[in-house]
Amino acid sequence: MKEFGTDITTDDIVDTLAFFDSWDDRYKYIIDLGKELPPLAESEHVDENIIRGCQSKVWLASERRDGHLYFQVDSDAFIVKGLLGVVLAAYNGKSPQQILDFDIEAYFGELDLMRHLSPTRGSGLQAMVARIKTIAAETL
């Protein structure tokens, strides 16, 4: 299985989304990304891993290995799982400092993503990013 952040990068996602002419096709691709996420262990589906501010249920677990952070995620909504894949491509397997230094707004801008999400989905996406950045800051 491919790993987001190493095998599937932000450049891969930007290039692939640019290939599609319609947002319907882009949404299908994002949903397919979510299907590639490795499953999150049931033991990680706990309250402390829930991301507040998301319309759907979203869980985020993290671990630090060799100075890098690795994230495992899950959601009860297909599109949200895909959005989690988009986020993991930016952050998974990076050092805490790389996570804090990465310009996620520019990445989302390059994807033209926020303009095509409902306000609640956009807020949820920002909540995911905020949680990951908090984890990175706490591990420095």
Report the distance separating Cα 94 and Cα 32, nearest Å. Answer: 23
- In this structure, are residues 30 and 82 in contact, taking their beta carbons and an 8 Å threshold? yes
CA-wise closest residue to 124 among 52, 48, 23: 52
Q: Residue 88: pLDDT above 90?
A: yes
Q: Give percent above pLDDT 70 in the chain.
A: 99
Report the distance separating Cα 6 and Cα 46, nearest Å. Answer: 27
Angle at 32 between CA 38 and CA 112, to 5 degrees: 115
How far is CA 68 from its chain centroid?
16
Residues 6+ apart with CB under 8 A from 65: none
Q: Residue 5: pLDDT above 90?
A: no
Residue range 13-29: mean pLDDT, rounded: 95
- Residues forming the active site: 54
Q: Residue 96: pLDDT above 70?
A: yes
Evaluate whether the domain defined by 10-139 bears CATH number 3.90.1010.10.
yes
Residue range 91-105: mean pLDDT, rounded: 97
Q: What are 22-69's pLDDT values in tens digits?
A: 999 999 999 999 999 999 999 999 999 999 887 899 999 999 999 999
Q: Residue 121: pLDDT above 80?
A: yes
Say which DSSP state 6 is in: T
CA-wise closest residue to 81 among 89, 73, 72: 73
pLDDT of 1 reads: 62
Domain-by-domain residue ranges, the chain? 10-139
pTM of the model: 0.95
